[in-house]
């Protein structure tokens, strides 16, 4: 789900298994936090209230680190749920109800109201499913298990700072299993930097205030580099025998090479883009812009970014995707993607983590391998590619 750039709601998208639990009991772990909390200005009263009656770590929270939908499911399966017909209808109704608030946020930040609505919809179903797990216990469980090193320990301390500031009472600080909070699913460190008070009541309330939640989303996107006036991307069709090796460039150049939007509208004359084929040739093809990467700043999953972008288009009245997805086609699972990453790394083409997740680095490495081998350079990691890489027939 980068505290500007690295620690954000990104933690929601992490799949690594937790390390062994910290030496000593849970109460000892909590006690070890006191000095660091005091150094951040957190009073003893706030500390004690936060951990009162906490008990031990939540084993279900730690178990959840091993699975995450937007990384473990095919992009098309994830998209069906995230941008469902019911969500589009609900989101359009919410857009009408909150039209004046969304217009004011768009005027102030330059982030389109449909994008803000789409984030709100994907993160919490427009506030209806913001999570109910106590944030302090969730973060303490992950920090005690040393999941992702010190990341969740730092987030736990940040959550205590929020309580010290009086923005929320401990009993109302709830959210997801990974400590992401409220209608926008911010981690505490992101909340401290990016949450805003838009309704003017003196508190930054992403749990109950729709105005604060929507404005906080837009403010965060601007901090991540959102470029006003630029779409996240477009579904396009490619002409026959299109040169996939030239997959980055000006939108005007793509138009001159015969690339067309599937909705019949012209591509903009200005701006840069790159091709994105999340299901390979024969599936939907997209031209994505820098704003697609901004969406990934909120959550690093390609599936998530595509879902937000497409849902925003649908909320604004755009059409469904024109091309079909390869439902039922063989695809690489996590272990297969790890083998592919290792094989590409051995050839000097991949330098990212060998984590079994598809993303921009793996996509680029696959493209370079395809170009080297004279294959269609769609950047899609299919099983046949791994077989070729490993020398199997």
Which residues participate in catalysis according to the annotation? 123
What tokens appear for 16 in the block? 């690594």
Q: How far is CA 24 from the centre of its chain?
A: 34
Residue 134: strand pairing partners = 174
Long-range contacts of 169-173 (CB under 8 A, 24+ apart): 170/49, 170/50, 170/52, 170/134, 170/136, 172/207, 173/134, 173/135, 173/136, 173/207
What burial letters (b/e) apply to 266-275, b meaning 16+ CB within 10 Å? ebbeebebbb
Q: How far apart are CA 226 and CA 223, in angstroms?
A: 7
Through-space distance between the first and last CA atoms of the chain, rounded to whole angstroms: 39
Residues 273, 251: contact at Cβ < 8 Å?
Answer: yes
Going by C-alpha positions, the residue among 15, 7, 8, 50 that lies closest to residue 186 is 8
Rg (CA), the chain: 22
Question: How open is the CA angle 132-133-135, to the nearest 5 degrees?
Answer: 120
Residues 280, 227: contact at Cβ < 8 Å?
Answer: no
Q: How far apart are CA 57 and CA 176, in angstroms?
A: 15
Tell me if residue 239 falls in helix, strand or coil.
coil
What burial letters (b/e) apply to 9-26, b meaning 16+ CB within 10 Å? bbbbbbeeebeebbeeeb
Q: How far apart are CA 115 and CA 56, in angstroms?
A: 39
DSSP3 helix / strand / coil % (the chain, rounded to 5): 50, 5, 40
């Amino acid at each position: 789900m980068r505290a500007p750039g690295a620690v954000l709601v990104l933690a929601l998208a992490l799949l690594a298994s937790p390390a062994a639990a910290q030496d000593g009991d849970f109460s000892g772990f909590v006690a070890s936090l006191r000095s660091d909390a005091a150094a951040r200005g957190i009073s003893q009263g706030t500390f004690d209230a936060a951990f009162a009656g906490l008990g031990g770590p939540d084993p279900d929270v730690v178990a959840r680190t091993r699975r995450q939908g937007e990384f473990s499911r095919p992009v098309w399966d994830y998209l069906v749920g995230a941008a469902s017909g019911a969500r589009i209808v609900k989101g359009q109704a919410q857009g009408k109800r909150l039209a004046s608030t969304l217009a004011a946020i768009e005027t102030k930040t330059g982030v389109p109201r449909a994008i803000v609505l789409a984030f709100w919809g994907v993160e919490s179903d427009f506030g209806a499913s913001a999570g109910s797990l106590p944030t302090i216990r969730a973060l303490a469980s992950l920090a005690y298990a040393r999941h992702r090193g010190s990341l969740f320990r730092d987030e736990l301390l940040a959550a205590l700072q929020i309580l010290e500031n009086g923005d929320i009472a401990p009993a109302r600080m709830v959210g997801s299993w990974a400590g992401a909070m409220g209608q926008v699913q911010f981690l505490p460190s992101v909340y401290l930097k990016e949450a805003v008070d838009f309704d003017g009541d003196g508190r930054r309330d992403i749990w109950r205030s729709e105005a604060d939640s929507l404005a906080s989303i837009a403010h965060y996107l601007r901090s991540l580099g959102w470029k006003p006036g630029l779409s996240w991307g477009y579904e396009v069709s490619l002409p026959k025998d299109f040169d996939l090796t030239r997959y980055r460039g000006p939108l005007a150049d793509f138009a001159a090479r015969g690339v067309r939007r599937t909705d019949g509208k012209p591509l903009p004359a200005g701006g840069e883009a790159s091709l994105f084929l999340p299901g390979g040739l024969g599936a939907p093809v997209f031209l994505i812009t820098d704003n697609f990467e901004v969406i990934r700043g909120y959550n690093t999953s390609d599936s998530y970014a595509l879902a937000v972008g497409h849902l925003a288009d649908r909320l604004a009245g755009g059409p469904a995707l024109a091309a079909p997805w390869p439902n039922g086609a063989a695809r690489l699972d996590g272990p297969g993607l790890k083998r592919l990453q290792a094989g590409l790394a051995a050839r000097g083409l991949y330098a990212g983590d060998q984590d079994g997740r598809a993303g921009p680095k793996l996509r680029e490495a696959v493209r370079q391998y395809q170009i080297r081998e004279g294959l269609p350079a769609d950047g899609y990691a299919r099983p046949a590619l791994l077989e070729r890489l490993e020398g199997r027939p």
